[in-house]
Amino acid sequence: MEERCHTISSENEKRPGGIKTMKYERIRKIVLEAILDAVDQGLIKGTSGNIALRDEKDDVVAITPSGIPYKGMQLEDIAIVDLNGKWLDGRYKPSSEVPMHTAVMRARPDVKATVHTHGMFATIMAMGNEELEAITPPQCEFVPVRKVPFTMPGSDDVADKVVEALGKDGRSVLIKNHGMFCCGKDMKAAMSATVYTEEMATTAFYAKVLGTYEPMPKEGVAAMKALIAADKAV
Ligand SMILES: [Zn+2]
C-alpha cells in the first residue's frame, strides 16, 4: 500500500499575526477552480479526469488527487509533484495519470497547463482512425487533433504516446477507448482546448449521424490558424 504524504502541515508557514499561508497556494487555487468548472460544464463526471498546472519558478506541478470527489474539494487536497511526478505535498496522493501530465510538461516547455477528461463525445469520436477536424472557425486553433492508440491508463506508455501525438505544437489529442488530453500556455488555454475539442467531437458526431458531415476546407483552416497565431481572429 502506498504511503500517504503528511507534509502539508509542516509545509504551511505562519505569517506574523498567526495567519497561515499555504505553499503553492496560487497554482492549487487555479487547478481547483478549473476542475470545478470542468465538472459544472459536464466535461468531468465522478472522480474521472485530472488537471495539472506547472509553477515555473519552483518547477513543481499542482495536480488533482486520485479518486477523491471534486465537489467540496479543498486547496490542501490538491497534490504537488515535481516534474518527474514525485509526490511532494498534499493530503491525498496525486492522480494516477501524473505520468501523462508531467511527460507533456517535460517535453513541451511552452505547456504550463494540462487537462485530461472523458468528455462523452470526445470519447465516442476517439474510436476509429480519422483525426478530428475543425467544423467552425474557433475550433481551428486546436487542430490537428490526432489519435492515440489505447494503452493502459496511468502508464508511461500512454504518457509517451500522448507526447508523440501532440508533437511540438499540438493542443489536443484523443485517446482511444479512454478520452482526451489537452494542453495550453496557461489554464485558460488548456480549458479552452478541452471545451472546443468536446464541441468539435459533438458537432462531428451529430453531423455524421445526419449524414451532413462537412468539415471546414483545408485552406480555410490554414487561414484561420494564421489569423489566430497573429492574434487577429475575431
Ligand atoms: Zn482518464
Grid coordinates given for 70:
471534486
Instruction: Quick: pLDDT tens for 67-123.
Output: 889 989 999 999 999 999 999 999 999 999 999 999 999 999 999 999 999 999 999
What's the gap in Å between 178 CA and the centre of ligand 1? 6
- CB distance 92 to 65 below 8 Å: yes
**What secondary structure letter does DSSP report for 66?**
S
Q: Which amino acid is at 166?
A: L
Q: Catalytic pick from 11, 25, 33, 97?
A: 97
Model pTM score: 0.89
What's the gap in Å between 227 CA and the centre of ligand 1? 33
Q: How confident is the model at residue 12 (pLDDT cuts 50, 70, 90)?
A: very low
Percent of the chain with pLDDT over 90: 77
What's the gap in Å between 168 CA and the centre of ligand 1? 23
What's the gap in Å between 9 CA and the centre of ligand 1? 30
State yes or no: is 97 an active-site residue.
yes
Instruction: Quick: pLDDT tens for 107-148.
Output: 999 999 999 999 999 999 999 888 999 999 999 999 999 999
The residues spanned by each domain of the chain are 22-229
Q: E-strand spans in 67-112?
A: 79-82, 87-89
Cα dihedral value 3, 6, 11, 13, nearest 10: 180
Phi, psi of 76 (to 5 degrees): -70, -10
Question: Is the pLDDT confidence value at 9 over 50?
Answer: no
**Cα angle for residues 162, 176, 143 (degrees, 5° grid):** 60
What pLDDT, on the 0 to 100 scale, is given for residue 197?
Answer: 98
What's the gap in Å between 10 CA and the centre of ligand 1? 32
What's the gap in Å between 220 CA and the centre of ligand 1? 33
The fold of the 22-229 domain, in CATH, is: L-fuculose-1-phosphate Aldolase (3.40.225)
For strand 60-63 and strand 79-82, is the pairing parallel, antiparallel, or unpaired?
A: antiparallel
What pLDDT, on the 0 to 100 scale, is given for residue 4?
Answer: 43
Phi, psi of 169 (to 5 degrees): -140, 15
Measured CA to CA, the distance from residue 99 to residue 17 in angstroms comes to 40
What's the gap in Å between 200 CA and the centre of ligand 1? 19
Instruction: Quick: pLDDT tens for 160-210.
Output: 999 999 999 999 999 999 999 999 999 999 999 999 999 999 999 999 999
**Cα angle for residues 78, 84, 89 (degrees, 5° grid):** 30
**H/E segment holding residue 60:** strand 60-63
> Which residue, 23, 29, 161, 174, is CA-closest to 104?
161
What pLDDT, on the 0 to 100 scale, is given for residue 164?
Answer: 97
